[in-house]
Amino acid sequence: MRPGCLVAVALVALGAVVVALVTFVATRGDGRIALGTAADYTPGSVVYRSTDHFFVVRALDGRVLALSDLDPHNPPDRESCRVTFRPDLPLEGAAGESRTGRFFDGCTGATYDLEGRALNGDGLDLRPIAIQSETDGRLYVRP
């Protein structure tokens, strides 16, 4: 291959990388992640945002919560264990009301209620992520 051809191929590849980076930066906006509105979630529901590593929970009282899927038992700067939601595990509600679903840590066996509170008594709750609410009711997080 001629040296001129190699330079042309390198410039085309560099141009593609620059276009991809500009597109990526332009579409990220202000870094917030749109969640929709509270009405988009059924009370008592849990939605996992796998690409963003957090859960969106609509509590029975109507509040919308965002909870990190990162195991609170991980040492600092280690993200090897993540929490999952297990709809098959029963959770006792108020006045003996039985609902299904709780968060489960497969590494330690710890369980958490739908609001991320530890049920095992070790005091390590799931990390909440602050939700920003716009005047039109749209919800955002900035993890």
Do 77 and 132 have their domain in common?
A: yes
Mean pLDDT of the chain: 81
Count of domains forming the chain? 2
Do 73 and 112 have their domain in common?
A: yes
Taking 50 as the threshold, does the pLDDT of residue 26 lie above it? no
Do 53 and 110 have their domain in common?
A: yes
Do 26 and 39 have their domain in common?
A: no
Q: Which domain does 11 fall in, by range?
A: 1-30
* Percentage of the residues of the chain whose pLDDT score is greater than 70: 72
Do 86 and 124 have their domain in common?
A: yes
7: confidence class by pLDDT, cuts 50, 70, 90:
low
* Per-residue pLDDT tens over the stretch 52-85: 999 999 998 999 999 999 989 887 777 788 999 9
Do 85 and 133 have their domain in common?
A: yes
- DSSP characters for the chain? --HHHHHHHHHHHHHHHHHHHHHHHHHHTTS-EEEEEGGGS-TT-EEEETTTTEEEEE-TTS-EEEEE-B-TTSPTT----BEEEEEEEEEE-GGG-EEEEEEEETTT--EE-TT--BSSSS--PPPEE-EEE-TTSEEEE--
